Amino acid sequence: DAGVIQSPRHEVTEMGQEVTLRCKPISGHNSLFWYRQTMMRGLELLIYFNNNVPIDDSGMPEDRFSAKMPNASFSTLKIQPSEPRDSAVYFCASSFESGPNYEQYFGPGTRLTVT
Amino acid sequence: AQSVAQPEDQVNVAEGNPLTVKCTYSVSGNPYLFWYVQYPNRGLQFLLKYITGDNLVKGSYGFEAEFNKSQTSFHLKKPSALVSDSALYFCAVRGSSNTGKLIFGQGTTLQVKP
């Protein structure tokens, strides 16, 4: 299995620009998670999808952030407009929620720098 | 509400010595507990989990964790540390009985010195 795939791996953009991060979960997994990691705030859950439906978006910082999951094999996290404080590493993770299986598998992350 | 705490920001150990990274939890209901490791510039990697059964759980890379219900702890252990074990370690607990959401601790940096 290829694991969780994220693109791009690095993104540098200017304040005010739109940024789109992409994620392909592990085939067969039914849940997808977007996290943000910074030195100051640690690991934060932004949004959680189950069967392509957003279940918990309470971690989305503000309306500038939006996430979609149009099908079981693809999700996007969009920031519009971006701000310097959005600079962080963004992780996508997926899991197969069934029985005792709740472990999440993480992608390599997208390092976002907003100047 | 479910929560998890890692009381140590950093743990230092000499190579070849046993290591312990501490984790305590608070849950309503039966706990689902997890350990993850993060190497520099990488995503988190699943190490092991406790769902039910034997209190000593074995995982990847020679790591194991001991579930202690009375102390509400789930400490990560390894009998003999390697320099390559140096990384950031996260403990996590399942959010509740009807969600796949995991609540992560703040992480503990493990430094293994030669």
pLDDT tens across B22-53, in order? 999 998 888 899 999 999 999 999 999 998 88
CB contact under 8 A, B43 and A97: no
Contact B59, B76 (CB under 8 A): no
Candidate from A42, A102, A104 with C-beta closest to B107: A42
| pLDDT reading at B97 higher than 80 | no
For residue A42, the chain B residues in CB contact (below 8 A) are: 104, 106-107
The Cα A75–Cα A53 span in angstroms is 11
- Interacting residues of B41 by C-beta distance below 8 A, sequence separation 6+: none
The Cα B102–Cα B86 span in angstroms is 24
Contact B33, B92 (CB under 8 A): yes
Cα of A102 vs its chain's centroid, Å: 18
| pLDDT reading at A100 higher than 80 | no
Contact A82, A114 (CB under 8 A): yes
Percent of chain B whose pLDDT exceeds 70 = 97
The Cα A93–Cα A44 span in angstroms is 12
Average pLDDT of the residues in B67-77: 96
For residue A33, the chain B residues in CB contact (below 8 A) are: 101
| pLDDT reading at A79 higher than 80 | yes
Average pLDDT of the residues in B64-68: 96
One-letter amino acid at A77 equals: L
CA angle (A58, A99, B71) in 5-degree steps: 75
* Alpha-carbon distance B102 to nearest alpha carbon in chain A (angstroms): 8
| pLDDT reading at A1 higher than 70 | no
pLDDT digits (tens, 9 = 90+) for A15-72: 999 999 999 999 999 999 999 999 998 999 999 999 999 999 999 988 999 999 999 9
Strand B10-14 with B108-113, pairing: parallel
The Cα A46–Cα A28 span in angstroms is 22
